Every structure is written in C-alpha cells, then in structure tokens.
Amino acid sequence: MPGGRCGCWKSTSNSPRTSRIWTTRPSVGFEKTELRPHLRKCWNIPPRANAEFAARLEDVLAVYARPHDPARPVVCMDEKPFQFLGEVRDPLPARPGRDARQDSEYVRCGTCSIFVWAEPLRGWRRVHALARRTKLDWAGQVKQLLTVDYPDAETGVLVMDNLNTHGIASLYEAFEPGEAFNLAQRLEIHHTPKHGSWLNIAEIELSALSRQCLDRRISDLDTLNTELAAWQHAINTEQRQVRWQFTTDDARTRLRQLYPKG
C-alpha cells in the first residue's frame, strides 16, 4: 500500500498492477455478501445481557401499548442542537434550465436547541427553539405542556431520554416549591434506556423535521421559530398519528441477547 494512503485510496499510478486492481470484477464472495468495507455508520449499540436496559425497554414499550386516554396523554419529548448559518454571498435563484445556486462558503452565527413534543396517538406536535438548553429551559417547556397544551389532563405521561436536565429537580430550580410540586404531581416520567434512543418517538419526529424543515441555512432564532411554527401547523393539520408496532413480546424474541440470562 502506498505510504500515507489508506487502503481505500484510488491510486493515480498507471502501473499494470494498479490498473488491474481497479478494473478486475469483484469476487463472487463479495457479491453474495454485499459487503461495503469502505462505508461505516454511527449507531447506538445497546449493551448485551443488561438488566437495566431490559427493564427500561419493557417499561417504555408498556407505555406505548396503552390506549389513547385524553386524561393521561402519552407525550414524547426530545431536543437537538442546531447550528445557525448565514450567507456570505446572496444565493442565485432558480431559472429555466438552471437550478438555484448557493455559495459553498458560509458564516457561523451561533447555536440553539430545538425542543420537540409529540403525542403519537393524537397526531399532535409542538416544536420550539430556545437559545440555550438548561434545566430552567426544560422546566419552562414542561410548564407550558401542562398549563397550555394539556390544562385539563390529569397526568402527563412523559417519555424521554435521561439527560441531566430532564428531571423533577429542574422544576424546583425554576419555580417556587409549591408550583414545582404541583407540576411534578401531574407528571409520570419514563426514561428510555441508555443507548436506546430509538425507543423515543420524538426522535423520529426530529428526523422528519430535519428533512422537511431544517435542510437549509437559517441564520437566526426568530427565522428558525417562524419556520418551525409553519412546519408545526402543517403537520398538526394533517394529524399524522404514530402507531408503534414493536411490542414486549417482539423484544423478548428479537432482542433476547439484550436480556440477562437467568
């Protein structure tokens, strides 16, 4: 292998050996297995034979199996950072025979955090971006969920990851003890397991949001929230429900390697 190059580097040499390497038909074994050794994906790899993972997995799946109950809505929550990007030169609009053009150079304009709240069985979402992602910010979002989005609900059943800001203590840091206690009494919290973020339906919503709304440069918080509000209105008008199909029985069969061997 040439010095300073990895094994997947295509050499520019015209030697017969190099030409033969790049023109030879792949072996039959390579075709059958469809291996792609030059590609690699980042993945949440769960721990094997882990009781804590199995317990949280089944807890979340049991929540998703509940029927729709307006008095106890199941709401999934997630958040993601977003990088503001500004244009260095004005983009060129599309015209007949030519696509729109955008300069490859851009300027970084800071970051923010996008919060997503979704009730799968109702087909409802709320998305909003804040300048920071602190315990106070999360507590403020929870208060809005309970007092504005679901003022008549007895209990909000909340599914989310176990980020350090996602807990009852954040309410006590943000509000007076009496208000924090009242809000906490209306919450039923279920955390997804570590390395099990795929169990959070809000993560699916974030993926759709990224493809449908965030696939372009946005330079400031106000513009972003305007775009998010438009996406939220459109998606809530359609009331797209999420019917979770993966059950506890499926987990015990298909993910049995994640359960401790008793």
| CA 42/CA 239 separation, integer angstroms | 32
Q: What pLDDT digit, counting tens, does each position of 110-137 carry?
A: 999 999 999 999 999 999 999 999 999 9
**pLDDT computed for residue 122 by the predictor:** 96
The CATH code of the domain that includes 213 is: 3.30.420.10
Give pTM, 2 decimals.
0.79
| CA 82/CA 218 separation, integer angstroms | 9
**In contact, 170 and 135? CB cutoff 8 Å:** yes
**pLDDT computed for residue 9 by the predictor:** 37
Residue with tokens 């909340």: 158
- Residue 31: inside a domain, yes or no? no
The more confidently predicted of residues 81 and 48 is 81
- Residue 84: inside a domain, yes or no? yes
Contacts of 169 (CB under 8 A, 6+ apart): 135
**Six-digit token string for 118:** 């979704």
DSSP element (H, E) containing 29: helix 28-33
Q: 106-119 and 74-87: which strand pairing?
A: antiparallel
| CA 136/CA 166 separation, integer angstroms | 10
Instruction: Give, in order, the Cα–Cα distances in Å from 16 to each of 13, 26, 129, 150.
Output: 9, 17, 58, 72
- Residue 148: inside a domain, yes or no? yes
- Residue 225: inside a domain, yes or no? yes
* Total domain count, the chain: 1
- Residue 30: inside a domain, yes or no? no
- Residue 143: inside a domain, yes or no? yes
What is the end-to-end Cα distance of the chain in Å, rounded?
Answer: 49
DSSP E strands in 100-249: the ranges are 106-119, 124-130, 156-160, 187-191
* Closest listed residue to residue 113, CA positions, set 137, 144, 85: 137
- Residue 173: inside a domain, yes or no? yes
Average pLDDT over residues 22-45: 63
Order of all β-strands in the sheet with 124-130: 124-130, 106-119, 74-87, 156-160, 187-191
Domain extent at residue 205: 68-88+105-244
- Residue 235: inside a domain, yes or no? yes
